[in-house]
Amino acid sequence: MRMGNNRLLLMRVLMRALLAGVASLLLCGAAQAKGKTVYVHLLDGDDARGDGNYTRPFKSWRVALRHVGSGDTIIAKNGDYRKAGREGSWGGLSLALTMADQLEAGDPRQTVPQGTPPDAIGIYRYDPANPLTIRAETKQGVVIDHVRFHLARGIVIEGFDIFPNPYYTDEAGKKLNRRCDGIHGDSVYEPEDTYNHVKTNDPPGGHTAAWYDRALWTSYITVRNSKVHYACPPGGCTPGYDPLQDDDRLYLIKFNQAHHITVEDCELFDGKNFQRKPAIDLPCSDDVVVRRNLIRNCHRGVVSKGGGRRVLIEANVFVDNSGAAFSGGSTDPDLFIDGRFGDPCSFAFFESYDMTARDNLVVSTRPGERPVESVSIWAAKNASIVNNTFIGIGERGVLLVRPGNEVDSPAKECGRSVRLTRTEDLTLRSNIFILSGVVDETMLYQTSGVGTAVLRFDHRDNTFFQSGHDVPVGGLADPNRE
């Protein structure tokens, strides 16, 4: 009798476990089915007869985007979309339309608040908590020229091989794609016909009030599991080709006037250029996370500037770059849009606020291509460089502090200087520096520029290896006292 009761109890337990498992599967299935999936293929799709399923994909990004919303997914079927040619923007994905553009039937629409210019309202805006995902069918199985965001929100880009080619020409030999970034996101620049033509030293108050409304900015964008790299010039990347003389290239990734941007698990490479632009440039961008990326064969790595706030650079690997791995930068006054409409003096007082670089590995192996300095700070407040490892660096020190906006050219109607000379509350702690052994300076911690001041420099618990040679003692502070 007792044995029968035990069997009955066991059966009840098993039945409950089975029902719980079924319920879990149903819930999981419901979660997976919450959003719909639409397929696109820029070479073999059909916008007229396709319906967006796997066997009948759409042919263009714009048509595919008409069939999705928050929580949905667009899957690009594998292929080299650059073969779409000039008419198809070499596969480029543009999320840049606004309510001022000539919209077509089915394009998303957004409400334009009274008094707001339509060109300040982007149409590709999705719920940040339930974003639109645009991904390649298999990891890096889709090759495209570029991705462009303008006043877009709530989008995940995943698994693409982004291969900007700035060397395309028309029949007359005129370059068509010059200075194309791999990924470009912005909010404050004008539409493409006047792209990047903001007048130098325009006061912040000179733009419309909508430009200062962060709720309208490009925001909540994630880029993951992708490759971003420049193509070789038509003559090839021969021994005689010097990418640092190539003025057709600019940035691999740039977000300007944006917030809540994440770049993770990507590989960025072959980004060197004549203007010494970084792999990732973040002027006027807040709440940015750059983590677990491999950045190699570029000039500088990640730059926060223009008053950007809360930029986290974490667990990345930097290899064979010729500039600082993480740094600030200098920005023209017109991009110091710190946010008060009608106030021509509302520039930021620092290029960067609350930048943190931690747990990164920086390796330089090629003679002559080691960075001038591994960490470069330009007029920063609360910058923290913690628990990083630097190998083969230090030919001209390990830290350089510089002023921001070095050309003192005040904006119209503003009397104060916009040359930023102070760096405050700088932390350099618990890092390992394995020096190259050929330091040609007497200082590891340096300053540059007239009037540069560093207030409250916390440097401690750093470890230096100098191949048996003495560690330099001059400069901003003596590392031998740590």
Give the mean pLDDT of 421-450: 85
Could you write out the DSSP letters of every residue in 402-456? E-BS-S--PPTT--S---B-EEEEEEEES-EEEE-S---SSEEEEE-STT-EEEE
Check pLDDT > 80 for residue 243.
yes
pLDDT in tens, 293-304: 999 999 899 999
Amino acid 41: pLDDT: 98
Neighbours of 199 (CB within 10 A): 9
Q: 56-60, 230-234, 276-280, 470-474: lowest mean pLDDT where?
A: 470-474
Check pLDDT > 60 for residue 3.
no
Domains, the chain: 34-167 (no CATH), 198-482 (2.160.20)
Check pLDDT > 60 for residue 194.
no
Closest by CA position to 417, among listed 310, 327, 345: 345
Check pLDDT > 70 for residue 206.
no
* Banded model confidence at residue 419, pLDDT cuts 50, 70, 90: confident
Q: Per mean pLDDT, which of 1-5, 22-26, 305-309, 469-473 is the most reliable?
A: 305-309
Q: Per mean pLDDT, which of 13-22, 369-378, 380-389, 427-436 is the most reliable?
A: 380-389
pLDDT in tens, 166-179: 888 888 888 878 88
Check pLDDT > 70 for residue 233.
yes
Give the mean pLDDT of 32-46: 88
Amino acid 26: pLDDT: 44
pLDDT in tens, 207-216: 567 777 889 9
The alpha carbon torsion through 415, 417, 422, 423 (nearest 10 deg) reads 90
Check pLDDT > 80 for residue 187.
yes
Residue predicted with more confidence, 338 or 218: 218
Amino acid 337: pLDDT: 55
- The owner of tokens 């740094």 is 327
Q: Per mean pLDDT, which of 323-332, 383-392, 409-418 is the most reliable?
A: 383-392
Amino acid 193: pLDDT: 44
**In 279-369, at which residue ranges do the beta strands (DSSP E only) sit?**
280-283, 285-291, 294-296, 302-305, 308-314, 317-319, 326-328, 352-358, 361-363
Decide if 313 contacts 262 (C-beta within 8 A): no
* Banded model confidence at residue 428, pLDDT cuts 50, 70, 90: very high
Check pLDDT > 50 for residue 96.
yes
Amino acid 332: pLDDT: 64
The whole-model pTM stands at 0.88
What's the CA gap between 103 and 110, in Å, rounded?
Answer: 12
Q: Per mean pLDDT, which of 146-155, 387-396, 435-444, 448-457 is the most reliable?
A: 146-155
Amino acid 173: pLDDT: 80
Amino acid 28: pLDDT: 43
* Banded model confidence at residue 71, pLDDT cuts 50, 70, 90: very high
What's the CA gap between 366 and 64, in Å, rounded?
Answer: 45
Check pLDDT > 70 for residue 291.
yes
pLDDT in tens, 351-409: 999 999 999 999 987 665 666 678 999 999 999 999 999 998 877 788 999 988 766 66
Amino acid 287: pLDDT: 98
* Banded model confidence at residue 12, pLDDT cuts 50, 70, 90: low
| Mean pLDDT for all residues in the chain | 85
